[in-house]
Structure 1
Amino acid sequence: MQHAVYMYDITHVIIDNLQFMMGQEKLNTDRFAAHDYMVGAFRKFATDNNRYVTVVIHPRKEDDHKELQTSSIFGSAKASQEADNVLILQDRKLVTGPGKRHLQVAKHRFDGDVGVFSLELNKPCLSFASSKCKQKVKKLSNAKKTESSKLSKETPANNKR
């Protein structure tokens, strides 16, 4: 990562996912100790280099009917303690159809604002967005269509000199 900062001036590193990166082989040390060491190393890198590090950590297996909490993070508490922000993707499975997804801000170190944002699938973009964001996109695209139709009416199609 240090090389990437020097050569390419990266500002954000995403580790997806920590459990896969650690590997499946038997470690000589305790798995949780290795997990803590890696989290600490990422935190030190981010602080020393003034960079962002996002680490994806899958939750431990829990009851499907319960929402995930900060304590659901795999490993020890070090990952959530070291983090500036903790985001949890909640997936509520429904009996009648596809589940509802929510992004929960479980920790925000700098101003403490936490909350839940509903996410909806935007199929044309193959991405998730909040409901409010989706409405803003519709308004913006409608405004652009209206503006472009006004411009095409104002500009003569065959302007010959």
Structure 2
Amino acid sequence: MCDLFVFILKTLLKPFKSRLFILSFFFFFIPISTFGIYYKWFEGSSDKSFLSYFTPETIFTFTIPLMASIIMEGVLTSTNKLSELEKDSAEFQLFRDSMVLSVIVMLFQAVLIYNSLSKDNVLLSLISVVVLFIFWILICSTKSEFSPSKRWRPTGNADTSSSSSISNG
């Protein structure tokens, strides 16, 4: 079971090594996808504070489309990944266990969103946002465009050197 959590943690941290992922996450994904939460703040017609717009209903406008895209992307990438793995390998077993855990968490997520709306609980809504962020990052870690970036030299060029190209002669 510990191997499963190490696998998930490594997969979760992988996209943060990509400059493209970091830029798209902080400058596109968060501001644009959360627009349904804070758009009324721009009207300026009320004396409410910015944080008062974060209600379970407004957070719902963010969580449900995100959850739908995670499920669709997850199904597509997991079926592709499972077809590439050998059935007797340890990686296949870890991936299979991760998928079962993902389905359980998504079911829990649906119950969490329902409870946050029915009980008007912002804390439950924020917990669901954090869980969905984690799942979205895990899905992005499988995409090749978010693979770790090459290191850059001070000259601005990509560092293409590797230990295999160094020789003593």
| Fold match by TM threshold 0.5 | no
Query: Normalization by structure 2: what TM-score?
Result: 0.25
Q: Pick the structure with more helix per residue.
A: 2
Greater relative contact order: 1 or 2 (C-alpha under 8 angstroms, separation 6 or more)? 2
Q: Pick the structure with more strand per residue.
A: 1
